[in-house]
């Protein structure tokens, strides 16, 4: 489901918006969340905005979903000692604010009662 307007993540990929990028390859980009909910809070984002949420990604491109998870795992090993939470928010009422599928990688002590958005 491609949106007519580029998402904020597509604009980061295009370098129209700055981000603290920690990883990038041909398929995904990862950067620090601007409103972290844990000492380590990274976002892993497919470069395509074709999929709004993880269910669409799983149905449409399972290999890309596997790459997002593998990237999250590698980043958690590098930045969080290998222990992490991997969160995909799906839908506005679940806290999704950008409708371009992305994974939150959280490591370290989480803020009390926080959920990744």
Exactly one of 41, 100, 102, 104 is catalytic; which is it? 102
CB 2 within 8 A of CB 49: yes
Write out the two tokens for 56: 């669409």
Q: Where are the domains of the chain?
A: 8-51+60-94+101-107
| Residue 26 CB-half CA count within 13 A | 0
The reply to whether 41 belongs to the active site is no
Tell me which residue has tokens 């949106």.
3
Cβ neighbours of residue 80 under 8 Å, at least 6 residues apart?
39, 40, 105, 106, 107, 108
pLDDT score, position 111: 57
pLDDT in tens, the chain (117 residues): 444 699 999 999 999 999 999 999 999 999 999 999 999 999 999 999 999 999 999 999 999 999 999 999 999 999 999 999 999 999 999 999 999 999 999 998 665 555 554
CATH hierarchy code of domain 8-51+60-94+101-107: 3.30.428.10
């Amino acid at each position: 489901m491609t949106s007519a307007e580029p998402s904020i993540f597509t604009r980061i990929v295009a370098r129209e918006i700055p981000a603290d990028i920690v990883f990038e390859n041909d398929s995904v980009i990862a950067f620090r969340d601007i409103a972290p909910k844990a000492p380590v809070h990274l976002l892993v984002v497919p470069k395509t905005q074709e999929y709004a949420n993880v269910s669409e990604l799983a149905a449409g491109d399972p290999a890309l979903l596997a790459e997002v998870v593998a990237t999250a795992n590698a980043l958690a090993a590098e930045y969080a000692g290998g222990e992490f939470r991997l969160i995909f928010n799906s839908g506005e009422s679940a806290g999704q604010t950008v409708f371009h599928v992305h994974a939150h990688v959280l490591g370290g002590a989480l803020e009390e009662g926080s959920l990744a958005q």
